[in-house]
Amino acid sequence: MVDLFEEVEEDLRADKLKSAAMRALPWVLGLTVGVVVIGGGYVGWSLWNDSRTAKASEAYDAILRGESAQDAEAAFKAFGEIAAKAPGAYRSLSYMNQASIRMDQKNEKEAIELLEKAVKAAPRGEAGQILADSARLKTAFALLDDAPYAESEARLKPLTEEGRPFRAMAMEALALAKLSAGKTQEARADFVVLSASVDAPPPLTERAKAAVSLIDSGAGGSIVASVKAAKALPPPGGGMQLPPEILQQLQAQGVQVQGGAPAK
């Protein structure tokens, strides 16, 4: 009799397990299908995005090397076509090149609008911050001799924080803004720090030393003229000299900032 009860109990347990399994089956199948679809979709998206990046790289290089580089409006249009289709990095670079063209044409308003688009288009991650900060710095330079000091400080101060890719250049720009605003001694102190900086590129430290000498000689006002010259600085990929380590970081992300194929 005990054996019979145990047999019935086992049958009931088996029925319950079977019933539970049948109820769970749709969820298991759905989860499996979801994993397959999401995984396949991610692989497909990655391949599609890599293809877009490769096409953008070729188109970007073609502009830099081609005849359109000699025709401002043709180059502006060509960069616009890349910006409309390319992934974030090349979209950001294309907007910066368009901004440089408009800056050369003295159309600062449109140039700044394009630089703001470049900031928004920059992808996430280290390479994206390099591109975004480059556009932010270019915007600050464009406004340096026109904007109130408070606005220049608000734009530049975040770029001077430790770890930011254009920290030294932002410090130089902020010192120039202080000089333009009549904050001569504060500007001098900033130039002294830059002149002794081991992280700043040599040309910048030399400019800082010259600025200190000019301020001490009473000719600090002549430095303000360099603000206007700074507006002509082109973006990465358009001739701007980036430190080698920054170039390597960008190229490691597949972003081409000079002529030639992207780094593998």
| Structural domains for the chain | 54-144 (1.25.40.10), 148-230 (no CATH)
Scan for tokens 């990929």, then name that residue: 237
Q: Which residues contact 168 (CB under 8 A, 6 or more apart)?
A: 194, 197, 199, 200, 201, 204
- So what's the pLDDT on residue 71? 82
Per-residue pLDDT at 227: 52
Average pLDDT of adjacent 10-residue blocks, the chain of 264 residues: 46 54 55 48 42 65 65 88 84 90 91 94 88 92 88 95 91 92 94 92 89 86 62 43 47 47 35
* C-alpha count within 13 angstroms, C-beta hemisphere, residue 16: 6
1 HSE (CA, 13 A, CB side): 0
pLDDT score recorded for residue 168: 92
Q: How far apart are CA 148 and CA 131, in angstroms?
A: 25
Task: State the Rg of the chain over Cα.
Answer: 29
For the stretch 224-258, pLDDT in tens is 665 555 444 444 444 344 444 444 555 554 544 44
For residue 125, the model assigns a pLDDT of 86
Q: What is the pLDDT of residue 68?
A: 56
Least Cα distance to 129 among 137, 1, 54, 196 occurs for 137
The answer to whether residues 207 and 192 touch, using CB atoms and an 8 Å cutoff, is no
